Structure 1
Amino acid sequence: MKILFYIILSVIFPFQMIMGQTGKDSILFRGNIVYDGDASEATFLHELYIKHNPKQRYPIVCDSDFSTKCIRGDTLLIEHFDTRYPYFYQMVEFIANDTLPQNIHIWRYPKSCNDWYYHQKYKTANLSIKDTIRKSEMVGTYKCKWKKKDSDYPVTSAATMKINDDGTFELIDEWVSWDTFGTTFYVGNWEIKQDTFICRVVPELMPSTVQERYPGQVLRFVRANFEDDKQYIMEEEKVYKFLVRKKGLIQTDIQDYIYKKVKNR
């Protein structure tokens, strides 16, 4: 019912006027929520409030202009509810100093993912493996899609891995079952030993739950599952191993999982 209410608001009031504070220093702050990533993933549930008055909240919708009266210099917060992992919901915090319209950005994944995970057209390519495996050959973006066969309820996964030339990697693995879904996000270091590609997750490289991708806009991931992953990795090492072949990286423990190279960077 709450979701339906917000959607109806967006239809009836395409430009939302949200009443706030008044006074000699009051301003009319104008903004628009922009969702970084796949637009189909955007959800409509958002609430705006002034930091020192969190009980008074106003619904706003994605890709819709809004405005609110506040005191110049007030800290405004937008809570973005997302029922999917890795982040149950996020909070964007910013200062209302100007009356000029501003784009307020929300992103689902750590800011490092924006230049390789979103809005990319991929084409599979073979690795040019010869007698020795060069590190420069391994750098790039890889994708792996699989379906778990030995399950009462089929599980499908779409994983993307970025191999960086500084010896680090990032891995996003999104899986879906009939009644649930989840996402794993790992960061770590990689190395080559003979014909085996080894990715070792490093807890210290896991991203912070507080990030600033845009000046003056701080996004706080709330209940981010990589905090639990970080604690788990500190207690038990997590290592991915792959056989390097021309058709891609074959995960050694589950050889149906083949990470095919789709981009050189």
Structure 2
Amino acid sequence: MTRNINGIPHIYYDGYWIRYYTPPEDTLSEKKRLIDALTKRTFHHTEAGINTPGEKLELAREAFEREDNPQRKRVNAAMLAGALFNRATDIFTTIVDLEQKGITITRDNALMAQCSKCFTEALDLSKNVLHHSGEEGVDELWGEPVKVFTMPIGDYYTSRYRKIAQAMREIDLIGNTLKCTLRIHDSFAAAHPLIDDFVSIAKKECEILRTDMGYYQVWPEFVADGEKLTEFLAPIPRGASSALERHIKRGTLLLRGGKNLITWIANVRVPMPVSTRSFLERCEQYRDSVT
């Protein structure tokens, strides 16, 4: 179901009207363009040091197999996943180059099989890859280029709308929980409209492509509204006890934590259920600690 909202086409998924983009033609060259863009975005949002070049795959695998320390092995696994990811995109680039020279590569070709194998192994290792914040893994984001490789582009777009709807639902949940939690102190009354504004623009950031001209309005508003929450300081009532003062200061930190989590979800455009669940638990603990 689609409709125009303020002159912009939207499509309805799982309770949300999401900005609609017409899928490109389902060709290998278009798949390559999408995979390249998604690969760049994936590494941008994950921890540093794992964008291992494809030609270093064997070295990355040797280091992973040799490492015994669990913490270091997790990082080696992430580096190996990065190498596999880049090797897969290198192979796919070669396939597209051959296609453009008039050489047809079928799905059962050895190059296609090797590309698929690299993508699959990279996806299996993706649980070891953390978000750049150090929070939970973002294997759903990691799986985006794999989806483009394995399914028609139109089907991939459909899957993206569903993930965006899930991300929007998490953003709404975090915002509503944050307001409910901070309502216990009048000191946070002025923060409520700021939360509403940020949640609203975060959902727009979640749905809009950077190639969209509207992005030049959405991104500045998203950053500016986020800064308002980061800079918000709840006033301490005159004569407040030290316990109340500490509690209000903890609430301010909670507000910033919620703002950060909403920012991360809006940027990666997929839900972060582990981080969201942890934040909701923090909110519950804060409400329970009211003195």
- Please report the TM-score for the alignment, with normalisation by the length of structure 1: 0.26
- Please report the TM-score for the alignment, with normalisation by the length of structure 2: 0.24
More helix by share: 2
